A and B are shown apart, each in its own frame.
Chain A
Amino acid sequence: MFGSMLRSLNRNKILLLMVLPGALWFLCFSYLPLVGTIAAFKEYRFSRHGFLYSLIHSKNVGWDNFKFLFSTDAAWTITRNTLFYNIAFIVLGLVCSVGLAILLSELTNKKMAKVYQTGMFLPYFLSWVIVGYFAFSFLSMDRGLLNHILGYFGGGPLQWYSDPKYWPYILVFVYLWKSVGYSSVVYLASILGIDKSLYEAAMIDGASKLQQVRNITLPLLKPIVIIMTLLAVGKIFYADFGLFYQVPRDSGTLYSVTNVIDTYVYRGLKTTGEIGMSTAAGLYQSVVGFVLVIVSNFIVRKIDKDSALF
């Protein structure tokens, strides 16, 4: 038994070595910190003996740390915002990036295709603070581009940063602008991996471009689409903090449509600095994310066993 294990270790030593850095990384940064989860149930207080000692000897408070997440009607707003924005991001992001990837793959001028691709890729590398200022240069009330254009057509200047009704569209647009270029690369890569002879055969049979896309590209993209979506679903309770905090410039009057779990936790705890309560929020997000991944993977497996993650 032990011997056979050793033998199999030896046989796969190269592969195991390749896995080692990743495994160590996970061990250090994902598994070890799990100990800290205890903080969610503690009223954390410092002691002179270091973090672990403080953690163990802090007072147990049961579920008290979770209360602030659910104590007001803000709980409903932030959960709704987090979920709906993320669903919109997943669905629209998928449609846009797959669409874009197909368009890019059909371009015959490969040089121009590279130019377009790089252009769309660029926003991904900008930090949200900078994107926030980009948006501000369009939406500023007195100096913004949009208000100038509106003024040209006789519309009055709009107070973009104090009117919540535009923001769901602005946020979704900004998110897509920033992320689509990057995610389309993944799909583009798998499109390029599709056997060209399939398309040749389809062309000989007289299939149009649209028919080729529908019957060859999309079905062959399905596994990667499912994996990417499942991974995104696991993060559905994590909002992109930079997007929801920087882009609306933390404007209070917009909170009804911009407040998400992450910004709520940040605003609630930046004055009290309770480690226990922020850990509680993180734990809550992880547990819900975990359940969602398991459930959606289960559903995928019911429909198509080969496409499931595990």
Chain B
Amino acid sequence: MSKAKKKAGFALASVTALSLVLSACGGSGNSNEAAGSGDNSDKPVNLIWYTIGTPQKDVNKVMEEVSKYTKEKINATVTMKMIDWGDYSQKMQVLVSSGEPMDIIFTSAGGFDYVQNARKGAFLQIDDLLDKYGQGIKNAIDPSFLSGSKVDGHNYGIPANKELPQQWVWRFNKNVADKYNLDTSSVRSLESLEPLLKTVKENDPTITPFVMTKDFVPYVPYDYLITNMPLAVKLDSTDYKVIDILETDEMKQALKTMHKYYTAGYIAPEAATTGSTTDLERAGKWLLDMAQTQPLADNLWSASYGYPVVSTPASDPIITNTSVQGSIMAISANSEHPEKAMEFLNLLNTDPVLRNMVDSGIEGTHYEKIGDNRMKNLPESKNYDMPSYSLGNNMILYLNENDPDDKWEQFKKFNASGIPSPILGFNFDSTKVASEMAAVQNVKEQFWSSLMTGTVDPDTYLPKAIKQFKEAGLDKVIAEAQSQLDAWVAANKK
């Protein structure tokens, strides 16, 4: 063995290691030439689709079937990659920044934030593609979805056609409510709950009357510019004024009531740090909570808890940015086949066969049809249990065994009843005030949960919170938001 050979071996090893690392960083660097070409060739294009949800065992099996179908229709095959709920935002952030090849990305107001990432350049602007390949989508889904998901005047994704407005309801554990003869239909405001809570607390101290997690925020008739940040605009606003929600009379009143409930013991002592209330729900040891609804939600809740749940509205159905951006499929900015991806999205949102295959799996294996547009899950469906909301148009899904015939009619009616928020379509760009936002966010984390759950007395803590928000630069953020909103109003509302 010569020295030179040894040395070459060492050098080779280090070069290999280095190049491995480098290629992992810049993986998509050499693939640009391939883009654009190949759309007309005979070879089918493979689309990579990242979506949210617990990875299912049979994903690849189902996608093979899906690919057979799409290959015939649009000459494309599909690979789906699922990332679990809690990891989705973070992992996507890394995958997108590292330029991992992908074509279709699930995004929403909550998971891998749609507006921010659209602005950061993660998604392709699809105005032209939508005109060219997406006519089916334009006919199939409620136009408010497409207009409400515009960022700075452009579309960056296809929202799923589903419930459009967001409406808060009080949910009641019917067993408990019936036991004490409570009239659940007459409540509406936060204050109107008091007699019910009182009755339950006095009669059965083992029940938590008012259940909530640390994310609870009492409903006030305002639309938030960013979810759970204190900037908001009043729903019936005509002057489009951005204000600090904590300084509004409605919020002050609500927080006082919450503190009254907390001190009376209607709320669990650790509400401000509670992440999940599933144990209470499983045990049925609760009276009421606040939740967002959709048509037939009571049935869904009752089925998942195993005992009857009823609900009464706590707010009007409002169409907000958050409700419109609840589930969007975007085309990745680094997609090599944006046209094919758009064709696929068009097919997915209009073709019941494809949509139901993606949703429920393979007919005869995961589900069976028991009617024209009705299906039943088979035992195998546990290996392919997908979240329906994140996979495109909901209104062409087959009905489940127990769904009423007019399920989607009810959805359409609910959507029509929605009242648009005055700032629907306006998306605040916080880039210019990024460092203030980070500071404001920290103040928010410090005070928000304990105020909203009533854990602390608003008489002493609210002024403190307002003062700290101001010190963190909330006024500057509000001023920036106001000037953007004014410009938007001038351009869009005449």
Interface residues of A (CB under 8 A from B): 6, 9-10, 13, 20, 24, 27-28, 32, 43-54, 64-65, 67-68, 71-74, 140-142, 159, 161-162, 249-253, 255, 259, 264, 267-275, 277
B28 — which chain A residues lie within 8 A by C-beta?
A: 48-50
Q: Is the CB of B269 within 8 A of A50?
A: no
Interface assignment of B446: CB less than 8 Å from any CB of chain A: yes
Known: A47-B333, A48-B333, A72-B471. A277 touches B445 (CB 8 A): no
Interface assignment of B442: CB less than 8 Å from any CB of chain A: yes
Q: How far is the CA of A201 from the CA of B120 in the complex (A)?
A: 72
Q: Is the CB of A46 within 8 A of B120?
A: yes
CB distance from B362 to the nearest CB of A (A): 35
Per-residue CB contact flags for chain B residues 192-213 toward chain A (1 = under 8 Å, else 0) read 0000000000000000000000
Q: Is the CB of A46 within 8 A of B273?
A: no
CB distance from A63 to the nearest CB of B (A): 11
Known: A54-B97, A277-B438. A141 touches B269 (CB 8 A): yes
A52 — which chain B residues lie within 8 A by C-beta?
A: 25-26, 29
The 9 closest A-B pairs by CB, nearest first: A50-B99, A268-B438, A68-B435, A48-B334, A68-B438, A249-B273, A67-B435, A46-B121, A141-B269
A53 — which chain B residues lie within 8 A by C-beta?
A: 26, 29, 99
CB distance from B256 to the nearest CB of A (A): 18
Q: Mind listing 7 A-B residue pairs with CB under 8 Å?
A: A10-B6, A48-B99, A52-B29, A67-B435, A72-B472, A253-B456, A277-B435
Q: How far is the CA of A249 from the CA of B271 in the complex (A)?
A: 11
A268 — which chain B residues lie within 8 A by C-beta?
A: 437-439, 441-442
Q: Is the CB of B439 within 8 A of A10?
A: no
- Tell me which residues from 440 to 474 in chain B have a Cβ below 8 Å from any Cβ of chain A: 441-443, 445-450, 455-456, 471-473
CB distance from A93 to the nearest CB of B (A): 28
CB distance from B318 to the nearest CB of A (A): 22
Q: How far is the CA of A271 from the CA of B229 in the complex (A)?
A: 10
B97 — which chain A residues lie within 8 A by C-beta?
A: 44, 46, 51, 54, 275
Q: Is the CB of B273 within 8 A of A251?
A: yes
User: Which of B22, B97, B333 is most buried by chain A, counting CB atoms within 10 A of its CB?
Assistant: B97
Known: A24-B14, A32-B21, A253-B456. A273 touches B99 (CB 8 A): no
Chain B, interface SS category: helix
Q: How far is the CA of A45 from the CA of B121 in the complex (A)?
A: 6
Q: Is the CB of B27 within 8 A of A50?
A: yes
Q: How far is the CA of A44 from the CA of B226 in the complex (A)?
A: 21
Q: Is the CB of B455 within 8 A of A272?
A: no
Q: Is the CB of A71 within 8 A of B435?
A: yes
A140 — which chain B residues lie within 8 A by C-beta?
A: 270
Q: Is the CB of A272 within 8 A of B437?
A: yes
Q: How far is the CA of A135 from the CA of B358 in the complex (A)?
A: 44
A68 — which chain B residues lie within 8 A by C-beta?
A: 434-436, 438-439
B121 — which chain A residues lie within 8 A by C-beta?
A: 45-47
Interface assignment of B248: CB less than 8 Å from any CB of chain A: no
Q: How far is the CA of A264 from the CA of B98 in the complex (A)?
A: 25
19 more CB-based (< 8 A) A-B contacts, given A6-B3, A48-B28, A252-B449: A6-B7, A13-B6, A20-B10, A28-B21, A44-B120, A45-B120, A46-B120, A51-B97, A52-B25, A52-B29, A65-B435, A67-B435, A68-B435, A142-B268, A251-B449, A252-B446, A252-B447, A268-B438, A273-B117
Interface residues of B (CB under 8 A from A): 3, 6-7, 10, 13-14, 17-18, 21-22, 25-29, 32, 89, 93, 96-99, 113, 116-117, 120-122, 214, 226, 229, 268-270, 272-273, 333-334, 430-431, 434-439, 441-443, 445-450, 455-456, 471-473
Q: How far is the CA of A249 from the CA of B21 in the complex (A)?
A: 38
Q: Is the CB of A162 within 8 A of B431?
A: no
Q: How far is the CA of A67 from the CA of B433 in the complex (A)?
A: 11
Q: How far is the CA of A141 from the CA of B271 in the complex (A)?
A: 11
CB distance from A40 to the nearest CB of B (A): 13
Known: A47-B333, A252-B450, A268-B439. A273 touches B113 (CB 8 A): yes
Q: How far is the CA of A68 from the CA of B430 in the complex (A)?
A: 14
CB distance from B209 to the nearest CB of A (A): 14
Q: How far is the CA of A6 from the CA of B28 in the complex (A)?
A: 39
A161 — which chain B residues lie within 8 A by C-beta?
A: 270, 272-273
Q: Is the CB of A141 within 8 A of B270?
A: yes
Q: Is the CB of B270 within 8 A of A49?
A: no
Which of A44, A64, A252 meets B448, CB within 8 Å? A252
Q: Is the CB of A71 within 8 A of B472?
A: yes
Q: Is the CB of B434 within 8 A of A46?
A: no
CB distance from A143 to the nearest CB of B (A): 9
CB distance from A170 to the nearest CB of B (A): 14
A48 — which chain B residues lie within 8 A by C-beta?
A: 28, 32, 99, 333-334
Which of B13, B29, B113, B268 meets A50, CB within 8 Å? B29
Which residue of chain B lies nearest to A276 when distances are taken between CB atoms in the complex? B434
Q: How far is the CA of A32 from the CA of B25 in the complex (A)?
A: 10
CB distance from A66 to the nearest CB of B (A): 9
CB distance from B165 to the nearest CB of A (A): 24
Q: How far is the CA of A28 from the CA of B17 in the complex (A)?
A: 8
Q: Is the CB of A273 within 8 A of B93?
A: yes
Q: Is the CB of B438 within 8 A of A252?
A: no
Which residue of chain B lies nearest to A78 when distances are taken between CB atoms in the complex? B442
Which residue of chain A lies nearest to B112 when distances are taken between CB atoms in the complex? A273
B18 — which chain A residues lie within 8 A by C-beta?
A: 27, 32
Q: Is the CB of A71 within 8 A of B439?
A: yes
Q: How far is the CA of A259 from the CA of B445 in the complex (A)?
A: 11
Q: Is the CB of B456 within 8 A of A64?
A: no
Q: How far is the CA of A275 from the CA of B438 in the complex (A)?
A: 13
Q: How far is the CA of A13 from the CA of B446 in the complex (A)?
A: 57
Which residue of chain A lies nearest to B438 when distances are taken between CB atoms in the complex? A268
Q: How far is the CA of A250 from the CA of B447 in the complex (A)?
A: 11
Q: Is the CB of A252 within 8 A of B272?
A: yes
A249 — which chain B residues lie within 8 A by C-beta?
A: 273
CB distance from B485 to the nearest CB of A (A): 19
User: Which of B122, B437, B471 is most buried by chain A, counting CB atoms within 10 A of its CB?
Assistant: B437
B449 — which chain A residues lie within 8 A by C-beta?
A: 251-252
CB distance from B365 to the nearest CB of A (A): 38
Q: Is the CB of A272 within 8 A of B273?
A: no
Which residue of chain B lies nearest to A139 when distances are taken between CB atoms in the complex? B270
Which residue of chain A lies nearest to B99 when distances are taken between CB atoms in the complex? A50
A47 — which chain B residues lie within 8 A by C-beta?
A: 121, 333
Q: How far is the CA of A251 from the CA of B447 in the complex (A)?
A: 9
